[in-house]
Amino acid sequence: MVSISLKGHVRADGMLEIRVPTPLPETDVEVLVVLEPVQVEGAAPAKAGWPEGYFDRTFGSLRDNPITHEPPPDFETRTEWR
């Protein structure tokens, strides 16, 4: 068994790409991936990426001006192809 430790970066779309050079010949292998977020020393961890106090500042902000859902516009009628 060979243990390899490396660091990577998860992109905004949630994808992590890993390319790992190994000392093994061409063969089938079993791979175990363990993800552990890196904590920046001295920084408070943000919960799921939301800034501190975000929900306290924004909760109820649309109470007086709610979001409305308008019906879709009428689309042109096209000839059906057969």
Q: How confident is the model at residue 43 (pLDDT cuts 50, 70, 90)?
A: low
Torsion angle (degrees, nearest 10) of CA 41, 45, 49, 54: -130
Per-residue pLDDT band for 42 (boundaries 50, 70, 90) equals: low
> What's the CA gap between 55 and 48, in Å, rounded?
12
State residue 4's pLDDT score: 79
User: Who wins on pLDDT, 39 or 15?
Assistant: 15
Q: Is 37 in contact with 18 (CB distance < 8 Å)?
A: no
pTM of the model: 0.37
pLDDT tens-digit series, residues 45-63: 555 577 888 888 888 888 8
Residue 42 and residue 63 in contact, taking contact as beta carbons nearer than 8 Å: no
